[in-house]
Chain A
Amino acid sequence: MDFAGAYTPDHLKFLLEGFLVTLKVAGIAIVLSFIIGGLIGTIRYAKIPILSQILAILVELIRNVPLLLIIFFTFFALPEVGIKLTPTMAAITALTIFESAMLSEVIRSGLNSIHKGQLEAGRSSGLSYVQTLWHIVLPQALRRMVPPIVSQFISLLKDTSLAVVISLSELMHNGSVIYAQPGGDKFIMPIFILIAGMYFVVNYALSIIARRLELKTT
């Protein structure tokens, strides 16, 4: 193990660039997943006929296959039907598909946790169904959803490492580039330790935030 040789400023900068890609891809994916997952969760909560059944099946299917398969699929299989994506686009697409399904369940159970009386009160004071959802139910539910959404973001950050299989230049990939150079064998363990450390620091901080928020809301 050669720590000094592995942690040169150049290597550290390269790893940091990789981590920024990880954060960027995960960040874009969580925002998209929140929007799509929010829509799916709300449609299923409102029990819109046919549409909510179709979405229920889709969510179940996506949640029960490995994310790695979805990543491979978006990058290698979609070109067969004429959709070509760059590694970044494919990673964001795959993570968004997977995470939307996960978040839709979080959002649906958040909505379900709001007492039915709130909905009834809103409706009987003359608001339409959509207005009641938007002004009464969603704001209350959102506050309860924040902790599980932060947890999902932690999973997402970890899951982004899987995009190494489609050569997205994220943290894992940049790490492997460093130790793949001639004589890089002795860098392998130091690099892995550093990568694990970087993930740990960010995710642990996030999990503390999630816990704080949880205490506040309950």
Chain B
Amino acid sequence: MLDFTILTENWDMYAEGFKVTLLCSLLALIGSFLLGTILAVFRIAPIKPLNWIGTIYVEFFRNIPLLIIAFTIFVGLPTLGISFDGFQAGTIALIIYTSAFIAEAIRAGILAVHKGQTEAARSSGLTYIETMRYVILPQAIKIVIPPLGNQFINLVKNSSILSVIAAGELMYQADLISLRTYVVFDVYIIVALLYLVITLPLSYGVNYLEKRLAKSN
């Protein structure tokens, strides 16, 4: 049976890791939401060069591993004289990677809002940016919330790769604990449970919202 004394005896380290995991996931969510929104608007703006920038960004970062982004920032950039600590590098990498996915979710949400809405807003004298800001985005947000929730779950899980670049999140603390106690199995099971504490409620929330959205349509 699972030895929970591991959890109680190493509570400080588990709690610290849990805190860092939550913090970097939240920061990355905010960052990638902002960047993702800009990218989504770029991709649908009626200006060709902006479309290209948006498309190149999204296609490139969606198709390469998060790990290579994290390594480039943490190991690669210092050779060019730009250094970050593990937490900063990991959070930046998560933002760069996740914003590509969030941009796609937001773009799909914007496209799902009926075209007549844009036309109506534009012909009542709003500029393109005003139309986006006051008419389209508020409606798109409702559609976008469930996929955003999914991306947040992915963020929490993906933040585990910060352990590879020595940022003190949950996975990293687990490695330290298992080195200290010579126990591996139970240490990892407890870490899995701690991740589930965050991700399971989120995934139920997302499911609930998806069902409600499906009903309201």
Instruction: Indicate whether A43 reaches chain B with its CB closer than 8 angstroms.
Output: no
Main secondary structure on chain B at its contact with chain A? helix
* A77 and B185 contacting across the interface, CB-CB below 8 Å: yes
CB-contacts of B160-204 with A (<8 A): 160-161, 163-164, 171, 174-175, 178, 183-185, 188-189, 191-192, 195-196, 199-200, 203
- Chain A binding site: helix, strand, loop or mixed by DSSP? helix
Q: Smallest CB-CB separation from A157: which chain B residue?
A: B65
Query: A69 touching B171 by the CB < 8 A rule?
Result: yes
A17 close to B (CB within 8 Å):
no
B149 CB to nearest A CB, Å: 13
* Number of A-B contacts defined by CB within 8 Å: 109
Inter-chain contact A192/B200, CB cutoff 8 Å = no
Per the bound structure, the CA–CA distance linking A159 and B68 in Å amounts to: 11
**Contact of A164 (CB < 8 Å), options: B67, B183, B188, B192:** B67
Chain B residues in 8 Å Cβ range of A164: 67, 164
A76 to B171, CA, bound (A): 13
Most chain B beta carbons < 10 A, residue from A61, A69, A73, A79? A69
Contacts of A165-218 to chain B: CB distance below 8 A: 165, 172, 185-186, 188-189, 192, 195-196, 199-200, 203-204, 207
Most chain B beta-carbon neighbours within 10 Å: one of A60, A73, A165, A192? A192
**B64–A81 touching, CB < 8 Å:** no
Q: Is the CB of A60 within 8 A of B200?
A: yes
Is B8 engaged at the interface, CB distance under 8 Å to the other chain? no
Task: Check if B68 sits within 8 Å of A204, measured CB to CB.
Answer: no
Contact B63 A72 (CB under 8 A): no
Asked if B59 contacts A76 (CB within 8 A), the reply is no
Nearest chain A residue, comparing its CB with the CB of B161: A68
Interface string of B66-84 (1 = CB under 8 A from A): 1111011001100110000
* Nearest-Cβ distance from residue A68 to partner chain B, whole angstroms: 4
Q: B158 an interface residue at 8 Å Cβ cutoff?
A: yes
Question: A188–B67 Cα gap in the complex (Å)?
Answer: 14
Chain A residue nearest to B183 in the complex (CB):
A80
A7-37 residues at the B interface, CB under 8 angstroms? none
Name B121-156 residues within 8 Å CB distance of A.
Answer: 153
Contacts of A76 in B (CB 8 A): 178, 184, 188
A64 touches B199 (CB 8 A): yes
Bin the interface of chain A by size: 35 or more
Q: Which of A53-76 contact B (CB under 8 A)?
A: 60-61, 63-69, 72-73, 76
- Per the CB 8 Å criterion, the residue count for chain B at the interface is 40
Contacts of B62 in A (CB 8 A): 203, 207
> What CA separation (Å) do A73 and B200 show in the bound complex?
20
- Of the candidates A63, A69, A172, A185, the one whose C-beta lies within 8 Å of that of B68 is A172
| Residue of B71, B72, B157, B185 with highest tally of chain A CB at under 10 A | B71
* Contact for B188 among A1, A67, A73, A204, CB less than 8 A: A73
Question: Complex: how many Å from CA A60 to CA B192?
Answer: 12
Q: Are B63 and A200 in contact (CB under 8 A)?
A: yes
* Residues of B with C-beta under 8 A to A52: none
Q: Are B196 and A65 in contact, with the CB atoms below 8 A?
A: yes
Partner of A69, one of B153, B185, B192: B192
Closest to A204 in B: B63
The reply to whether the CB of A161 lies closer than 8 angstroms to some CB of chain B is: yes
Please judge, given known A-B contacts A69-B171, A189-B76, whether A203 and B188 are in contact too, CB under 8 Å. no
Contacts of B163 in A (CB 8 A): 68
The answer to whether B80 and A65 have CB atoms under 8 Å apart is: no
Residues in A whose Cβ lies below 8 Å from that of B188: 69, 72-73, 76-77
Q: Which residues of B sit under 8 angstroms from A72, Cβ to Cβ?
A: 171, 174-175, 188
The reply to whether B65 and A158 contact each other, CB–CB distance below 8 Å, is yes
Interface pairs A-B: 3 shortest CB-CB: A203-B63, A66-B160, A64-B199
